[in-house]
Amino acid sequence: MMRYSIRGPQAGSSLLAAAVALATLTACSDGPAAGPGGPTSGVGTPSAVTSATPEPSPTPTRTYPLSTAPLTVPAVRSHEAARGPGWRPAPAAGVVVAAGSEELADEGRLLAGELKIAYRGAVAARAGDVELALGGKGAPESYTLTTRDNRVRITGPDEAGVFYGTRTLKQSVKGSGAMPEGKVTDAPAKPQRGLMVDIARKHFTAGWIEARVREMADLKLNQLGLHFSDDQGFRIESDSHPEIVSAQHLTKAEVRRIVDLARSLHITVIPEIDSPGHLGAVIAAHPDLQLRSASGRAPRGAVDIANPASAKIVDELLREYMGLFPGGYWHLGADEYVALMSKDPEATYPGLARAARAKYGPSARVQDLATGWLNDRAAVVRPSGRTLKAWNDGFFPGGVVDADKDIEVEYWTGKELGARPPTAYLSAGRKVVNLNDEYLYYVLGEPNQFTYPTGRRIYEQWTPLVLRGTTPVPARYGPQILGGRFAVWCDLSQAQTQAQVADGIRTPLTATAQKLWDERKPAMSWERFRDLAAKVR
């Protein structure tokens, strides 16, 4: 409500009439509003009118209700309400970067284009502007977004944090047209948050992958795994071994473009050359590397790890692709090596058993030879400074050889022969990333009792503590669980088109992003979250 005061000289009966009128108007007023967004000044009571010339009152001001948190996916973790109009893009508005924060120019240009306002560079902010700045002592990827006085200021200790603040602003404006007054303080619960795509069994175009990268960025996801070597195909151009590359594949130029786009959006691309299993595309060109059992059976995709030539070709590929993928992680695979899925590996594969004993002593077994293979591949990549990863069924207990301690466990299943629960890895001090096949596996064609995961089930039931099945591990292990990734596997590659895969993973990936950013029980119902996601993305 607007407030008015009586101005000008009054005398005699006029003064009394003025006082009565003033009392009436004051009684109709809502009273003064408190808070930083909309203070108003009160008008004096009739008894205060003792002069023919009352004190002038301030210019009328508008009152605002307390703001509510911006509606985004993932939801912001903390919002300090305030009174005020908030911020909306206007023709005169612009995006600027603070002095000393010039490295935020790319983030500024991107945001300006999205909001359809000008980017003005490293100049002083003015009314209506959005200012980006580096600074503060928050956790990595954290940010603060303050809206007041018709300005927005986004600060963070690193570029990624400021970028995530711009995603919050973008979504809030897209969903409601404005950014609410007040202060957002936000940071992810987990440092590793992402999507993994099996591009080996099914060829995905560079454009499709780039579209997923852009979706991931708006969800504040920061890792894209590319599983590009398997039995059905090897999908990236190779200079060292062109003979293994599938007809449909990504060129190195396309991969560089994907990597550069991802890096600009604060996403790390994690390559995976899976070995010593899942190497069928390599074996097709090099049949001498094929593992054979005592009966002569040749299990698909398994190389003979007793043959030095097997290690040689894999190491040559690792060295070649380290230059193509400059990110901080490397996935070594190590899952489903058929020799270790046998009930009696030593009897079934006596050649591997002999090699194990020759290399590691008389009590060594086939699992020790496989663990040594994993460690040897890690030794090839480690000098590059990467953090190393391997699937949980590539780690074996009770042998004479242990997997190197710095290899992170990517826990996906408890269904393999001799499966160990997640606590076996956690109690040994291992760092673990969650790819629970019960919730986070999107397997084309739904073979082997896999069903397409739903966003609702992830949103309502899954947390990073739920590593296997539906039961969480004890909360004390939370700090060792570094995050998770939603995974697309293309076992029946023709079951869906690229477009169908994109549509099918959209909602479950959004739910996964929410639970990795904030693992607490969501305040919003699933229906509201689903509708919001469709509105702001």
Instruction: Output the average pLDDT for the chain.
Output: 90
Average the pLDDT over 383-387 and give the result: 97
Q: What is the DSSP string of 198-222?
A: ETTTS---HHHHHHHHHHHHHTT--
Residue 292: C-alpha distances to residues 274, 364, 395, 399, 434 (Å): 19, 20, 22, 23, 33
Per-residue pLDDT at 62: 73
Classify 124 in phi/psi space as left (phi over 0), alpha (psi -120 to 50) or beta. beta
Per-residue pLDDT at 136: 86
Residue 52: which pLDDT band, with cuts at 50, 70 and 90? very low
Residues of the chain above pLDDT 90, percent: 86
Task: Compute how many other C-beta atoms are within 10 angstroms of the C-beta atom of residue 239.
Answer: 8
Flag whether pLDDT at 138 surpasses 50.
yes
Residue 137: which pLDDT band, with cuts at 50, 70 and 90? confident
In a 3-state reduction of DSSP, which class is residue 197? strand
Per-residue pLDDT at 25: 32
Average the pLDDT over 59-72 and give the result: 85
Per-residue pLDDT at 415: 79
Which is it for strands 78-80 and 182-186: parallel, antiparallel or unpaired? antiparallel
Residue 475's φ and ψ, nearest 5 degrees, are -60, -25
Residue 426: which pLDDT band, with cuts at 50, 70 and 90? very high
Residue 223: which pLDDT band, with cuts at 50, 70 and 90? very high
Flag whether pLDDT at 456 surpasses 70.
yes
> Over the stretch 266-299, which tens digit does the pLDDT of each residue have?
999 999 999 999 999 999 999 999 999 999 999 9
Average the pLDDT over 438-451 and give the result: 97
Flag whether pLDDT at 29 surpasses 80.
no
Average the pLDDT over 461-471 and give the result: 97
Judge whether 172 and 164 are in contact, CB under 8 Å.
Answer: no
Q: Measuring CA to CA, which residue among 350, 365, 429, 419 is closest to residue 391?
A: 419
Residue 509: which pLDDT band, with cuts at 50, 70 and 90? very high
